[in-house]
Each structure stands twice: as C-alpha cells, then as structure tokens.
Amino acid sequence: MSKKFETRAIRTQAERTQHREHAVPVYLTSGFAFDSAEHGRALFANEEEGNVYSRYSNPNTDEFVRKICEMEQAEDGIATASGMSAVFSSIAGLLNSGDHLLVGRAIFGSTHQVLTQLLTRWNITHTYVDIKDPDSWEKEIRPNTRMFFVETPSNPGLDLIDLERAGEVARNNNLILNVDNCFATPYLQQPGAYGADLIVHSATKFIDGQGRTIGGVVVGRQELIDELRFFARHSGPAMSPFNAWVLSKSLETLAVRMERHCDNALALARYMEDHSAISWVKYPFLPSHPQHELARKQMKMGGGVLVFNFDEGLEAAKAFIDRLEMLTICANLGDTRTIVTHPASTTHSKLTEEERLTVGITPGLTRIAVGLEHIDDIVADIAQALDRR
C-alpha cells in the first residue's frame, strides 16, 4: 500500500528489538559484537549484511538515512556529522585531480570556501554559472567537467535554479547533478523528480527544526552512494547515533513544521513588502519574486526564509537588528524560533564585496528565518524595530 509523505516520515523505523519498544532506542555503541570469528570475517568481507562499527553504520543512522531516502525517493544515502561534511563528501568523494565542475553562482559561503580554498589543492577546478541564465550553462562545460552543483533556493539571496533544465543539461552531458536542497527540505521540493543524481541536506536546519544538533545527509543513485560510502567510511565524517536518533524523530514532524514556517514566512513577507522603511523583500511565493512562476512549479510552498534590503546599507541593517526585542540574532536557521542574520558580515563575510554583490548580497540585505511563533508576535517585533528609528 502506497503511503503519503507524512506517514512514511513517521512509520519508517528501525526493526524492534526483543524488548518490543514503540520508540526506537538510541544505540550508543562504538562497535558491535560478532556471533563468531567467521561471522566477523563475513561482515568485513561484505558477504553478510550487518553492523560492524558506528563509523560505518548504526541502526540509528541507518533509520535516519532510510527516512530521507523515502522522502526524496532516492535509492540510498549516507549520514554525516554536519551539512558541510555532506557537501564536501558529495564532491570530493566522487571527483579526481584534474576534474572540473559547474557550480550555480549563488551558494552558501562555506561551500564557496570549499571550492576556492580546499578543492583547488587537489587540482579540482570549478566554473560559476549564472543560475538565472540556463542557456549559458552548457557553454561552460569542458571535456573534464564531471559534476553540476547547485543550491536552490540559494542562501541567502533566495534565487532559484530551474531543476528541470539542470537535469536536462546534466543528462545531455553525462554530468552528476548534485543539488543542495537544504532550504526547501524534502517536503517542499524533491530534486530527484527532475533528474538530480545526488541530493544534499544540512540536517542542522529545518530537518532538526529546533536548533539542537548538527548533521548532514547525502542521498541519491546507488552507484554514486557506494562510492561515497567508501569515501566516508575511511575519511570518517560519521554522524553520531544520538544525533541520528534526534534527527530521525524530528522528521516525524517535518511536514507540519514546514507548513507553519511557510505560512508565517509568506504572511511576514506580505507585511514587509508594504513597509516604507525597506526597499524590497524577496520570498519565492511573493508574486514580486523574479522567479515566482518557477517557484510555484517546483516547490510545494515558499519555504521558511525571506530576505529584505535597507538602501542605507550596513548601519541601517545593524540598527534594525539591534532594536529587535523577541527575535534571535543568530547565524543558524530552521529553528522553532525566528532568527535574524546579516549575511554580509557573518555567514558570507569571507566572500569579497564583488563576489557578494554578484549574487545579490548587498550591504543592507538582512535574512529572516521565520519560526513557529504566532505570526502576530513576529510581525509586532519586526514592526517596532522598523518604526523605532
């Protein structure tokens, strides 16, 4: 019987033990005992399936990965200790020295650092492409191009990649399409439906949803995950069993949380769009978003993040943030609590000013990750901070 997204998120569980528990226990063990010497040999020889060591696999991480695979309709996956270890593994685990990748220009600041400061040490190069100009993408493909890495919606500018076009370009040129789906989550967007070969998440954000833990996950085609599993097994970015247990439980409420995040974010975006203190607001499901129709096509709802701009720049943004009374000033997002961030001076501060402006990160751009508080209270705090100048 086919089950809906919410049901799969709740009912996909590790096998019960002899204790008949209803909630899955936490398997806080580094190693696993073998029935015999021969059993140990067979496990290490991959002749039998089973747990050997929690850096390799664990019932909690296995359950978490299985849930994400169900949600993304992916064949297999690996869980990692952080979102950035997932991003790094999904690239470094598949590319060799001399390889090249296309990258959508609007990406997270740490991903930019991986591309420009780390992968270059191994002669892995990249070319940034304009995510709003799909006709230009194929012109940048080289004979050694192996991967197309994109993030949609982008952090923090909320620009979108046309996933259908990206899938076509990847298929036509034998590229691995690698999609960072962190902002949308599997509930709002499923890149695999458009041809994504790999899907990456920072589980730290909306998947956890309460700002408690760090984690990442990569899911996708079996043959690619097999390569990544070898890379992860021996380089060691393993997720802890406890974090996997927390994140797996979080997935049970992902759908209802994202509905509230999105409802609140859209209501706040509509309010702020009419406020005279700011020059513009950007949110995928606002008709004023330049890619509004694309957002409607490939996303179920608009997500939990919006950005807006002060023409007066940095000082105006800082003054607004410092006047907030309830909202949290923090670099994270995806929490139950609404969080405000100034990307140019925090998460994207390592980019040059030119690089920031190229992807729309102006000095006055401010990001709000809208939480689950009552929308009236969120609006009230924003209003007093905008009006009290």
**Mean pLDDT for the stretch of residues 269-291:** 96
**Mean pLDDT for the stretch of residues 38-66:** 95
Distance CA 305, CA 351 (A): 21
**Mean pLDDT for the stretch of residues 45-68:** 95
**Please, are residues 80 and 239 in contact by the beta-carbon 8 Å criterion?**
yes
**Mean pLDDT for the stretch of residues 53-62:** 96
Interacting residues of 341 by C-beta distance below 8 A, sequence separation 6+:
156, 329, 330, 331, 333, 347, 366, 367, 368, 369
Strand partners, 309: 280, 365
**Please, are residues 333 and 368 in contact by the beta-carbon 8 Å criterion?**
no
Preceding amide of 156 cis, omega within 30: yes
Residue 232 CB neighbour total at 10 angstroms: 25
How many CA atoms are closer than 13 Å to the CA of 325, on its beta-carbon side? 11
Give residue-wise pLDDT tens across range 95-104: 999 999 999 9
Specify the long-range contacts of residues 225-232, CB closer than 8 Å, at least 24 apart. Answer: 225/75, 225/76, 225/77, 225/78, 226/76, 227/93, 227/94, 228/78, 228/89, 228/90, 228/93, 228/94, 229/78, 230/93, 231/89, 231/92, 231/93, 231/94, 232/78, 232/80, 232/89, 232/93
Give residue-wise pLDDT tens across range 75-92: 999 999 999 999 999 999
> pLDDT at position 2, please?
65
Kindly state the tokens that stand for 199: 């899907």
Highest mean pLDDT: which of 3-7, 57-61, 352-356?
A: 57-61
> pLDDT at position 354, please?
85
> pLDDT at position 273, please?
95
> pLDDT at position 386, please?
95
Q: What single-letter amino acid sits at 43? A: L
> pLDDT at position 63, please?
97
pLDDT band at 336 (very low <50, low <70, confident <90, very high): very high
Chain position carrying tokens 């102006």: 362
Reduced to 3 states (helix: H, G, I; strand: E, B; else coil), residue 126 is strand
Distance CA 366, CA 320 (A): 9
Kindly state the tokens that stand for 323: 């006047």
How many CA atoms are closer than 13 Å to the CA of 388, on its beta-carbon side? 13
Q: What percent of the chain has pLDDT over 90?
A: 89
Mean model confidence pLDDT for the chain: 95
Chain position carrying tokens 């009290």: 388
Interacting residues of 199 by C-beta distance below 8 A, sequence separation 6+:
72, 74, 178, 179, 181, 186, 191, 192, 218, 219, 220
Q: Which residue has the higher pLDDT, 281 or 354?
A: 281
Whether 359 shows a pLDDT value over 90: the answer reads: no
Give residue-wise pLDDT tens across range 171-225: 999 999 999 999 999 999 999 999 999 999 999 999 999 999 999 999 999 999 9
Backbone angles phi, psi at 162, to 5 degrees: -75, 100
> pLDDT at position 352, please?
83
How many CA atoms are closer than 13 Å to the CA of 180, on its beta-carbon side? 32
Tell which residue, 286, 239, 250, 247, has the closest CA to residue 266. Answer: 286
pLDDT band at 348 (very low <50, low <70, confident <90, very high): confident
Q: What percent of the chain has pLDDT over 70?
A: 99
pTM, whole model, 2 decimals? 0.95
Q: How many helices (H) and strands (E) would you count in the chain? A: 14, 12
25 to each of 18, 29, 49, 210, 353, how far by Cα in Å?
12, 12, 21, 20, 48
Q: What is the CA radius of gyration of the chain?
A: 21
In the chain the domains, ranked by start, together with CATH numbers, are: 5-251 (3.40.640.10), 254-387 (3.90.1150.10)
Distance CA 337, CA 343 (A): 18
Give residue-wise pLDDT tens across range 143-162: 999 999 999 999 999 999 99
Distance CA 53, CA 51 (A): 6
Sheet hosting strand 100-104, strand order edge to edge: 76-80, 216-220, 198-202, 176-180, 145-151, 100-104, 125-129
Give residue-wise pLDDT tens across range 122-145: 999 999 999 989 999 999 999 999
> pLDDT at position 244, please?
98
